[in-house]
Every structure is written in C-alpha cells, then in structure tokens.
Amino acid sequence: MPIFYDPQTKLFRLDTKTSSYAFMVYEENYLVHLYYGPRVTDQDLQPLMYRGWYDSLSPRNPQVSDPRFTLDVIPQECPGTSTGDFRISAAEARNAAGNTVTDLRYVGHSITPGKPALPGLPATFAQEGQAQTLEIEMADPLTGLKAFLLYTVFENHGAMARSVRFENAGGQPLDLERAYSLCLELPTMDYDMIHMYGRWAKENTVVRHPLQHGLQAIQSKRGMTSPNHNPFVALARQDSGEEYGQVIGVNLVYSGNFAMEIEVDTPGCPRLLAGINPSTFRWRLAPGESFQAPEAVMVFSEEGLGAMSRDFHKLYLDHLSRSQWTKKKRPILINDWEAAVFDFDDQLLVEFAQEAAKLGVEMLVMDDGWFGARNNDRAGLGDWQVNEQKLKGGLSHLIERVNAAGLKFGIWYEPEMVNPDSGLYRAHPDWIIQAPGRNKSLSRNQCVLDMTRQEVRDNIFQQMYDVISQNKIDYIKWDCNRHITEAGNAVLPPERQGEFFHRYVLGVYELMDRVTTAFPHILLENCSSGGARFDPGMLYYSPQIWTSDCTDPIERLTIQFGASLCYPPASMGAHVSASSRTGFATKGNVALMGSHGFELDPRKLTEEEKAIAKAQVADYHKYYDLTHYGDLYRLTDPAVDPFVCDWQFVSPDKKEVLFTRVVMRRPENLYQVRRLRGLDPEKVYVDEETGRKYSGALLMHAGLDLSQPWPGPADGSSVLKHFTAE
C-alpha cells in the first residue's frame, strides 16, 4: 500500500510509482513537511528537518525544546496565520475576537482504502484497491477551527489528490478568509514556473520563467476559470525539459475564482498554494458548520513535462471524467455555428445532415439560435423553448429528419445566462447577479443568472428537462459566454456575501450534476467562448470540452499543445472548419489530435474536399483508440520551433504509432529528421504507407527521415504516418 506511517518517528510517507511525499508530526504537534521528490525510504528522510536558517528576528515557540525550531523557515503542510510563519498562509479564520490568528496542530489521522467523494464538488474518484487516502485532523484549540487534510495517492499514476475540509467545532462563528486546498513546500528555488495564459480565441499560451524571490501568482476573479489563466502550474527544475528532469504539475479541480501563488522567501524555499482565490472569498462558519475546499491534483515526473502530461491524461481518463462517454466511442459530429451562426432553419439543418451523412459524419449539433427570440446575440437567452418559426414543425420533427439521414442530434445551451431582452428576464429581473445601487454591466449583451439560488436553478433545469425529455437528444454543448461583475447576492446576509462566488460555482456544479444524472446517455461538451472554462472541474462532468473558438489549424497547434500539458487529447474538441490558412488535409490532421469534428457548411465543399473529409472520418475511426487512449508525445514546441510541429501517439502496448507533422512555415533545411519517442526498441515497426521496416531503436535513436526534395514541403502542409509493430 502506498501510505506509510511510522508511530515511532511519527513520519508519514506517501509513495507513487515515481515519487515519495513525506511529512512528520513534530513536537507540539506541528505538522512539518519534509520531502517531495523521487522515491526514497524512511531512513533517507530521517535527517531532514531544517531548511535555511533562522535569525535573531525569528519568533519561536518556547514550548519546543529545540531552540532552532522556528516557523519562520519550517516547511508546513497547512500553514496558518500569524504564528511566526510570515509566508503566504494556507488557512486563515477570523475569530470572534476579530483577529485572524490561526494555529492548526495535528490531532490524529486515519488511512482508508479508495477515496471519499467531496460533497458538492467534482473530484477524482477511486475504488478500493485503486488508491489509498490519508486524512489528517488538525485543530486550533482556542477557536475550535478544525482542518481535515485529505491526501489520496494514485500509486500507478504518479499522482496525488489533495483537499481540505474545515469545520467549526467551537462555540462562536468563524469567518474563513483563506482556505487553500494544497500547500507544497520545496527546498530550493532552482525551478521554473510554467503556466498558461491567453484570451478569447488564443487560449493556453505556455510561459516558463525562473522563480524569483518574492511572490508570483496566477488567478481568476472572473467567477469562472477564464482563458486568461488556466488553473495549472508546473514547477520544473531548471535543467528539465519535455523529456528529461524533475517536474511537479499542480492542477486545481475547480471552475471558479482560483489562485495559485508561489512565494519564495529569503532562504530561497518556494511555497506553492493552490485553491479558492482568497481575494474574493470569505465564508461564515457557524458553530457545527463545515466547508469543503476543492481538490488539487499533483503529479511528479522525473522524465520531464511529457511524462507529467501523460500521467495527468491517464489519471483524468481513469479517475476524473465520470461520463460513460469518456471510455465509449463518441460519434464524429458536425456543428453548424461557424457556417450558419444565427441564420438557419429546419430545412438548412436537414440539408447539413444529409450532406454530412455522405461524408460519414454521425451527429449534427444545432448550436446557438434555436430558442426564444434568438436571432442575434441581443435577445433570447433564458427562454429555452423551441423557436418554431425557425424550426417549423417543431424540434421532434427536425430530429426525426436528422435521424432519418443517419445522424444523431445535439443541441446548444447557455444555462447560466439571460439577455435583458427575454421573457425570463422580464418575469424575473431580480434573478441576475447584481449589487444594489450599482451599474449592471453587460457583456455580449447578457447578464449572469444567480446560480446560487435554488429557484433559479430549478427554473433552468425544468426548462432544459422539458426539451430534453421530449426529444431524442444525444448531446449537449453547455456554453458560458461572460464573466461576473457587480457580484452581489440578493439572498445572502451581508456577513455572508463573501460566499457568493463559491456558491455560484457550487450552483453550476449542482445543475450540471442534475442534467447529467437525469440524462446519463447524453454526451456533454463544455464550452465557454471556446476554452475559457477548460478545467478539471468541467472535465468531471463532460468528457470533451471545446478547446477554442479559433479553428485556424496553425493557431490551434499552440492552443492544443498548451491544453495537453494536463488535459487529455481525448477531451479537446477540435473541428475542421472553413478557415483558409492550410489545406483541408492539414485541418483534419490537426483535429485528429483531439476529439475530431467538423464546423462548416458541408454543401459548400468541393469534390476534392469531400473526398478528403471522408478520409478524415475514416481516420477518426481507424485511430480512435490510439488518439483517445494512447500516449501523447510532443516532439516539438510550436511556440519555439517556427517551422514544424510534430507529435506522436503510441498505443499502450507500443504496437501502434501515429506520427503527425504540420509544416507551419517551410523549413530552411531540406534534410529533416525527427527522433520518435516511447517505442519499444526491440520491436520492428512497419510504415503503413511505404511498407518500410524500422526497429524501434532506430526510430528513437537515429530518427525518422522526413527530408523532401527541393523546394521542400509547402507551408501549411502536413504528414501523417502510421506504424504497426510486426
């Protein structure tokens, strides 16, 4: 079993296949962090304790016998506030006296098989035998605040999940002001911080910079995770890269205001915190109440970012994404948005379906515009009744005709939103998020419904239920196209207004849970102006997420490569569209990296494009298992190499390999060789196209020759190579 406790030394050691994580209960029940890195033994860990050195200004607890002990430099598992540790704190509760001194000490622990669910929150899951969980109880005896730290070890995935539940066991109310899910302490600062920033249609730009003394952080205060920063940070040793070196990835299973902060204090020891953003959070804990913070997932890799990503991918497919569609073959779809926008009717959709059927497409998704008075983005959100002027004869009649063409049918919703020009808003203007006396900012002409309120969620659920239960719907695209401003809540008392943002997220999760539980057969695809809510919380409910509204294949390379740092390729919605920068074949090869679909008017394709589209559908089926359950190897970095972008999938048994190259700009050299990765050196691989045979050792160590005669490959062209082992 992966969790060890030694009652003599009071040492905890948590082992995965790649890593050990260790901490101990010290004198006065301080919970002191010791180690996170490659596998070690208890014996290795014995001498570990002090890092850096205290100086004359460092406060110390006189009850501790060793005079060197000061929280000023001691690494901790759940550092509180104003106790002599002056770094960013993981837990802070304002008590009845009005101060925020928070002093949590170890009380006890339990180790159990499997993993408990987190109430109201998406989280990784595991059966007995798949994981083991350690719960540490900590308490602040003066105020009665308790913290239950949960560590679940996924031994075979190199991963750990961490979360904290707070409880008020005292007699006075407490206000939780910082409730981080994870605190990670490192002994040296020779790490780079890697994270993803972006904006609409330009998500997941990866940046890497050395840690500096002081604070460095990413966050969201937008109510949703946002495209601006993804809730993912990797700390990579400065000598590490894609294939080599030590990397720790941290990803927060949360879809709201988050913060991931790293502080490097004077001794040069980084502390990373991940959790709910404290700057928009305050939670009143009445006596007896508890608060569950979301979960953070950590992966340790000694083989660079590539291995870290593959561990995240496997963990999320096996233990996070709960939909039956995660492991079930999904239909290849066509979505009408880019081709039709709001300008469609039933006839056009039937024509789309009939044409798409000829290409082998299996599902039609009717995007925005099918409901209420939704003829543009200024009206209709909130009125989820079929617009029968557009869909003459009603939705069932349309679906019958789409089904008759051989396609399944999917539908678009934006459940959290309302246009002021809508029946719902006119009936319930008080249901939007607003602060008394403040402006009501609009974004895309819409307001956000207050999802903290049960009656709002019930109304939207009922509206959705009526349509979905009466029609043969196979898929839902759940969109979310604005962020939250003037964050006030009409129901919560003033002392609880700080709970609003988290309650909003809980409300969204509850609604998503209700919809997916009522209709488990439905394939849910999340979306938020493209990939603005591409996070593990959403992945829990939906096995695929629309990666970006940018469907230009060259732009998509950096967007998809960025997302693949922690999200499985199988979860990335990736469509072939009418965008014009590359040839049609390359669009398909880029879409094949994710969950392939189409987003165009199939009637407008040339005969040549139709033939290629048919071949793409065939490729989708042929390579489905490889691209959805295989191991991804990023062979280049499209943000660094201006010429070519190469990646590769390898089947788990290493018998099948799919190599893709996209030529972003014609390379300066005709001579082109790429070393493949992750093959079996002993196996002989046959190139399906040429019949040539190569040993795995040769492909990995000498490389695959991709040279072409002058003038070399054209800009925007691509290569797809399939190898099978003899």
- The residue ranges that bind ligand GLA (CB under 6 A) are 337, 367-368, 412, 479, 481, 527, 529-530, 546, 549
With respect to ligand GLA, which residue has the nearer C-beta, 515 or 657? 515
Q: Identify whether the C-beta of residue 265 lies closer than 8 Å to the C-beta of residue 53.
A: no
Q: Which of 479, 535, 619, 646 is catalytic?
A: 479
Please identify, using beta-carbon distances, which residue of 23 and 337 lies nearer to ligand GLA. 337
From 566, 571, 568, select the one nearest 249 (Cα to Cα).
566
**Nearest distance, CB of residue 382 and ligand GLA, angstroms:** 14
User: Based on CB atoms, which residue is closest to ligand GLA, 130 or 376?
Assistant: 376
Question: Computed from CA positions of residues 36, 37, 43, 47, in that sequence, does the dihedral angle turn out positive or negative?
Answer: negative
Does residue 479 carry a catalytic annotation? yes
What are the tokens at 257?
């205001």
Quick one: DSSP state of residue 28?
G
**Residue appearing with tokens 């073959």:** 329
Q: Closer to ligand GLA at the Cβ: 144 or 562? A: 562
Q: Structure tokens of 476?
A: 């839902």
Residue 318 bears catalytic tag: no
HSE (side-chain half, CA atoms, 13 Å) at 490 = 15
621 in helix, strand or coil? helix
Shortest separation between residue 530's beta carbon and ligand GLA, angstroms: 5
What's the closest the beta carbon of residue 378 comes to ligand GLA, in angstroms? 12
Helix (H/G/I), strand (E/B), else coil: 157? helix
Residue 500 to residue 450: CA distance in whole angstroms: 9
For residue 553, the minimal CB distance to ligand GLA (Å) is 17
Least gap, CB of 590 to ligand GLA (angstroms): 17
Locate 239 and state its tokens. 């000598």
The least CB distance from residue 367 to ligand GLA, in Å, is 5
Q: Which is nearer to ligand GLA, 305 or 572 (CB)?
A: 572
Instruction: Give the number of other Cβ atoms within 10 Å of residue 290's Cβ.
Output: 13
Residue 525: which residues within 8 A CB-CB, separation 6 or more? 410, 475, 476, 477, 478, 542, 544, 545, 546, 573
The residue among 514, 499, 540 whose CA lies nearest residue 462 is 514
Query: Closest residue (Cβ) to ligand GLA?
Result: 368
Query: Shortest distance, CB of residue 528 to ligand GLA, whole angstroms?
Result: 7
Q: How far apart are CA 685 and CA 676, in angstroms?
A: 12
> Residue 19 or residue 529: which is nearer to ligand GLA going by CB?
529
C-alpha 711: how far from chain center: 41
Of the residues 311, 549, 601, 619, which is catalytic? 549
Contact residues for 57 (Cβ-Cβ < 8 A; gap 6+): none
Residue 274 phi/psi, 5-degree rounding, is -135, 130
Q: In angstroms, rounded to a whole number, what is the distance separating the alpha carbons of residues 535 and 563?
A: 10
**How far, in Å, CA of 336 to CA of 133, rounded?**
46
Name the nearest CA neighbour of 95 among 142, 35, 41: 142
CB of 526 to ligand GLA, least distance (A): 10
- Name the minimum Å distance from CB 241 to ligand GLA: 33
Give the DSSP per-residue string, 574-600. Answer: EEEES--SS-HHHHHHHHTTSEEEEES
Q: Residue holding tokens 């730009």?
A: 205
CB of 479 to ligand GLA, least distance (A): 5
Estimate to the nearest angstrom the gap between the alpha carbon of 497 and the chain centroid: 27
- For residue 662, the tally of other CB atoms under 10 A from its CB is 27
Q: Which two tokens stand for residue 547?
A: 């990666």
* Identity of the amino acid at 609: E
Q: How far is CA 305 from the centre of its chain?
A: 16
Q: How many CB atoms lie under 10 A from the CB of residue 177? A: 19
Calpha distance 270→235 (Å, rounded): 10
Helix axes 607-622, 584-591, angle to 10 degrees: 20
Residues belonging to the active site: 479, 549
